[in-house]
Amino acid sequence: METLMFRKMVLLVLIMVIMMGNIANSKLHNVGGSRISWNPNVNFIQWSIHQHFHVADWLYFGYGEKYYSVLEVNKTSYKKCVDTGFIKNVTGGAGRDVFELKEAKTYYFMSGGGFCWQGLKVVIKVIQHVAPPPQHVSSESKSASDFCQVNQTLVMLILVFIWGILFK
Ligand SMILES: *[C@@H]1O[C@H](CO)[C@@H](O)[C@H](O)[C@H]1NC(C)=O
Ligand SMILES: *[C@@H]1O[C@H](CO)[C@@H](O)[C@H](O)[C@H]1NC(C)=O
Ligand SMILES: *[C@@H]1O[C@H](CO)[C@@H](O)[C@H](O)[C@H]1NC(C)=O
């Protein structure tokens, strides 16, 4: 009975470590720099210059004005502040919108309601997490970085396998 408890504990710790690794890998960016900075008074170009957006990161749009919104649009619509034919309406209604950056590409966001004309729009350039260049890494550290990049499917399979051994 006690061994079973111990085994469960070990498994729980393993799962937690893996999940923490996952969270540490993706970042949440407050658009504009703070929790409530989705508004026309913020210089979004200045803000985004100093940010590094990676695949699997998240954006947070926080605002108190109920007439603001968050629309994902294409480059043309971004430039011309066109709020029809958008790609995605990210607006949830509570002034706390989140968006996952799933691809390495340039995303364009703007507010509807005419606020885009006042500057409520932002460009987000997303890049892939880069692996260290192979020629500059010793074979030891290279295998370590390879190990860190083992994919999640594999990790889950290993977990299920361990689970099977412990609880058969
Ligand atoms: C961008 O979206 C607008 C609005 O839907 C559309 O009219 C336009 O053709 C699109 N432009 C490109 C390059 O996809
Ligand atoms: C986007 O969604 C919000 C909340 O559902 C809605 O109030 C708003 O009118 C939508 N915006 C557009 C341009 O459709
Ligand atoms: C992850 O590993 C599984 C099993 O080895 C493999 O089938 C899958 O293609 C891998 N996925 C990626 C993204 O490497």
Average pLDDT across each block of 10 residues of the chain; the chain has 168 residues. List them in order: 75 74 78 96 95 95 96 98 97 96 97 97 92 57 51 77 77
* Contacts by 133-141, CB closer than 8 A, 24 or more apart: none
pLDDT at 140: 54
Closest atom of ligand 2 to 92 CA is 4
Please list every protein residue whose CB sits less than 6 Å from any atom of ligand 1. 74, 76-77, 82, 85
> What pLDDT is attached to residue 58?
95
Q: How many CB atoms lie within 10 A of CB 1?
A: 5
Residue whose CA is at the smallest distance from ligand 1 atom 7: 85
Distance CA 152, CA 166 (A): 21
Q: How many residues does the chain have?
A: 168
Residues facing residue 5 across a β-bridge: none
- Cα torsion 116, 72, 54, 126 to 10°: value is -70
Q: Name the pTM for this structure.
A: 0.68
Provide the 8-state DSSP code for 105.
S
- Give the Å distance between the CA of 56 and the centre of ligand 2: 25
123 neighbors 141 (Cβ within 8 angstroms): no
- Could you tell me the two tokens for 146? 């390879």
